[in-house]
Amino acid sequence: MSRPVTARVPAKVNVQLAVGGLRPDGFHDLANVFLAVGLHDEVTAAPADALRITVEGADAAQVPLDRTNLAARAALALAERHGIEPGVHLHIAKDIPVAGGMAGGSADAAGALLACDALWGTRATRAELLEICAELGSDIPFSLVGGVALGRGRGELLTPLETGGTFHWVFAVADGGLSTPAVYRECDRLREESGAGANAADVPDPEPSQALLDALRTGDATALAAAVSNDLQPAALSLRPALADTLRAGADAGALASLVSGSGPTCAFLAKDVEAAQGVATALAASGTCRTVRVTSGPVPGARLVDA
């Protein structure tokens, strides 16, 4: 009997999320600059007679335990490619906020792929794993790669980016989640309402900010703070107006930058150093504008196997 295998996978924050117009296939072209941060889920794959999912940790009750779970879909995709039965018990230990705009579900899929590949001895190449990731979801390839990367296309076409230092972050976790498709729909609606139009022909092609890329390369937190942006933030605030209070509380506490993480509702705050991050976290925790606060840093590596 094979021993269980555990993979550890990080959360992400989008330091830039530039969103193009709505494509005919229902997706949007992106210029998506991902940065992996030190909040991790762990996915353990153990031999079993059939596919089974269990989850522990914060908000575990919100995670589906059937085949709609991205980790389950990842295991099924790998098994199908290699013509094997997907007999595996996937146990997910959650530390990344659920439906929080930090790619927790994507992380679990990448972790499941890596763990099942090791458990089953399928010896999939890195390219094959990335191909499966891209088929499953736009954020999943980055969960496998980690570090800092620019995502083009739907976000799945990755180019690693050079970074010159560690950036310190505070994350304010909201009550409840936000549906990523709903936030994109609201983004399209707001664009239509403004008169600018929401289709690909109406919206300029998304491009990464050169100032942001330079700030990442030099490790300059102040320059990075001046360059961060999220085109989905107005939509997230439209659907969850209370997030404006959270963003204001972090800014008032001295954060260099305050933004909604991805599709939200988690809010991300960039701080100049560890001490400043702790000060922002303390103020946010006392503000009554969020449920919990997490302090961490990045970039960190992507999915990797660990001793269970």
Judge whether 164 is annotated as a binding position. Answer: no
Q: Which residue is catalytic, options 12, 41, 59, 231?
A: 12
Contact 167, 297 (CB under 8 A): yes
Q: In terms of Cα–Cα distance, which of 104, 116, 44, 45 is closest to 69?
A: 104
| 134 is known to lie in a ligand binding site | no
User: Does the annotation list 104 as a binding residue?
Assistant: yes
Active site residue 272: no
Nearest to 20 by CA among 218, 195, 155: 155
Identify the active-site residue in 59, 139, 188, 231: 139
71 a known binding residue? no
Residue 105 is labelled as binding a ligand: yes
Told to judge if 202 belongs to the known catalytic residues of this protein, a careful annotator would answer no
Residue 26 marked as a ligand binder = no
- 103 is annotated as contributing to ligand binding: yes
| Beta strands, E only, the chain | 5-22, 28-47, 52-57, 88-94, 148-152, 157-160, 167-173, 229-230, 257-260, 267-271, 292-298, 304-306
The reply to whether 100 sits in an annotated binding site is yes
Task: Encode 172-198: b = buried (16+ Cβ within 10 Å), e = exposed.
Answer: bbbeebbebeebbebbbeebeeeeeeb
d(CA 152, CA 131): 15
Which amino acid, 12?
A: K
83 is in an annotated binding site: no
Kindly give, in sequence order, each residue whose CB lies less than 8 Å from that of residue 83, ignoring residues fewer than 6 positions away: none
State the Cα–Cα distance between residues 195 and 225, nearest whole angstrom.
Answer: 30
Point out which residues pair with 41 in neighbouring strands.
9
Known binding positions: 97-107
Which residues are designated catalytic?
A: 12, 139
Known binding positions for ATP: 97-107
